[in-house]
Amino acid sequence: MQSNSSNNNNQPQTSHTSTSRSSDSGEACGGGNKWASKLLSECARAISEKDSSKIHHLLWMLNELASPYGDCDQKLASYFLQALFCKATDSGQRCFKTLATVAEKSHSFDSARKLILKFQEVSPWTTFGHVASNGAILEALDGESKLHIIDISNTLCTQWPTLLEALATRNDETPRLKLTVVVTASIVKSVMKEIGQRMEKFARLMGVPFEFNVISGLNHIGELTKEGLGVREDEAVAINCVGALRRVEVDERNSVIQLLRSLSPRVVTVVEEEADFSSSRYDFVRCFEECLRFYTLYFEMLEESFAPTSNERLMLERECSRNIIRVLACDEENGGGECERREQGIQWSGRLREAFSPVGFSDDVVDDVKALLKRYKAGWALVLAQGDNHESGIYLTWKEEPVVWASAWKP
């Protein structure tokens, strides 16, 4: 990978020369002194060393300085403090369940849709994967008349209108499209009915023969079957996995990939966020550092992308807090389809190569993605994976750090 990111586990270091300071400087997030990551890292180390007086002193300091409504340091301190506190009081599982239940209750079609659309408006974080995947799917299914796309994601179908448009405006005969959405996040299940209705209406308007199905009763993806998905012999199947594989328990990932293979797809598109919470899952400090690195990037990106008083940004930040607690303060063994242990592109590539071979994105698709990135604020770029390292796919980078990975595969 040609991006010049430093070792994933390093924290940016800043130097200090005085004993006390105060400032009202409106320094941009990330340009400051990163006091939060220092305190947090010290605390994580103290926890793994079981140094209880140090743990408590650091938690006290973090508690004094943290705020979920302040600058990035204060926010990171606040959300990570919550996870550390859960870990220290052994209440991670309970806290996560409470947070998830509350979020589900207050989630509505309107709020979810507004959130996703606003995020897509200000940041290519999600649209990057959509554009790349749609390009690969259209190219792989070119010439087919019966398409079946199996969408394993929680993107509320925001990926598909552009694909439907592309199908409708093709020169040859418009194919039939069956879209089967497999929903894994409990928060999303309740809104899928309305989404289905909208998709059907849109397809009608586009003049694309369309069928829509939702599968949401699963405990985990491993339960999917060809019959359950309604896959027929005369269909050309594409499987679209956006943020889906990270929800599978780590030990089951390879077998899920084999399951996907058994559906005989023409193409599989995989989009994941670029972080490794998986290989370090039994090493608290390493996992913590990686978590901190990733979410620092994410929070900084959110702060620069949204307006300062944005409720959408706040909701995205709160979603992070659930994930952080899940990764750092919950036991390894519990199912529920909300695993959240991300892996990097190179790790996913290693797994996918057991059942598939990579398909490079065509120049057209790469151009489309680059054109997409131009529509956003500066800082975003596309980086191709280095094929010789058994990597494949493309990375979305923000300030030269890879953040999202997209790839395409065929049997």
Partner 1 sequence: MLQSLIPQSPINSTDPNNSSSSMKSKRAAGDFTAGDSSSEDPSSKRASYEKPTTETDSRGDDGGEASGLRLLGLLLQCAECVAIDNLNGATDLLPEIAELSSPFGSSPERVGAYFAHALQARVVSSYLANQAIFQALDGEDRVHVIDFDIMQGLQWPGLFHILASRPKKIRSMRITGFGSSSELLESTGRRLADFASSLGLPFEFHPLEGKIGNVTDLSQLGVRPQEAIVVHWMHHCLYDVTGSDLGTLKLLTLLRPKLITTVEQDLSHGGSFLARFVEALHYYSALFDALGDGFGADSVERHMVEQQLFGCEIRNIVAVGGPKRTGEVKVERWGDELRRVGFGPVSLGGSPAAQASLLLGMFPWKGYTLVEENGCLKLGWKDLSLLTASAWRPAD
Q: 3-state secondary structure string, 213-239? A: EEECCCCCHHHCCHHHHCCCCCCEEEE
* Stretch binding partner 1 (CB under 8 A), from 36-44, 129-137, 263-271, 368-376: 36-44
Residue 40 or 382 with smaller CB distance to partner 1: 40
| Interface residue with partner 1, options 79, 80, 85, 361 (CB under 8 A) | 85
Stretch that binds partner 1, among 14-22, 179-187, 221-229, 369-377 (CB under 8 A): 14-22
Tell me which of 318, 351, 353, 399 binds partner 1, using CB under 8 A: 318
Is residue 346 a contact partner of residue 389, using CB atoms and an 8 Å limit?
yes
Nearer to partner 1, 103 or 218 (CB): 103
Q: Name the burial class of residue 10, with classes exposed (0-12), middle (13-18) and buried (19+) by CB atoms within 10 angstroms of its CB.
A: exposed
Residue 377's DSSP bridge partners are: none
Question: Closer to partner 1 at the Cβ: 274 or 338?
Answer: 338
Q: Which stretch binds partner 1 (CB under 8 A): 101-109, 162-170, 265-273, 365-373?
A: 101-109
Amino acid at 356: F
Task: Decide the pairing of beta strands 401-410 and 236-242.
Answer: unpaired
Given candidates 8, 91, 213, 347, which one binds partner 1 under the rule CB under 8 A?
A: 91
Q: Could you say which of 10, 90, 98, 264 contacts partner 1 (CB under 8 A)? A: 98
* Tokens, residue 188: 């999303």
State yes or no: residue 315 binds partner 1 (CB under 8 A). yes
Q: Which of residues 38-67 bind partner 1 (CB under 8 A)?
A: 38-39, 42, 51-54, 56-57, 59-61, 63-67
Q: Which residues contact 43 (CB under 8 A, 6 or more apart)?
A: 55, 58, 59, 62, 84
CA separation for the pair 55, 88 (Å, rounded): 9
Q: Which stretch binds partner 1 (CB under 8 A): 92-100, 219-227, 280-288, 356-364?
A: 92-100
- Structure token digits, residue 339: 């695993």
Q: Is 114 in the site for partner 1 (CB under 8 A)?
A: yes
Task: Single out the residue of 143, 128, 72 nearest to residue 306, CA to CA.
Answer: 72
* Cα–Cα dist 258/260, whole Å: 5
Q: Which C-beta is closer to partner 1: that of 69 or that of 282? A: 69
The site for partner 1, by CB under 8 A, has a size of: 65
| Pair 148, 236: CB distance under 8 Å | yes
Contact call for residue 123 and partner 1 (CB under 8 A): no
H/E element, 305: helix 284-305
Nearest distance from C-beta of residue 188 to partner 1, angstroms? 14
Entry field: residues in the chain: 411
E strand intervals along 159-209? 176-182
107 lies in the site for partner 1, by CB under 8 A: yes
Contact positions vs partner 1 (CB under 8 A): 16, 18-25, 27, 32-33, 35, 38-39, 42, 51-54, 56-57, 59-61, 63-71, 73-74, 78, 81-82, 85, 89, 91, 94-95, 98-99, 102-103, 105-108, 110-111, 114-115, 307-312, 314-315, 318
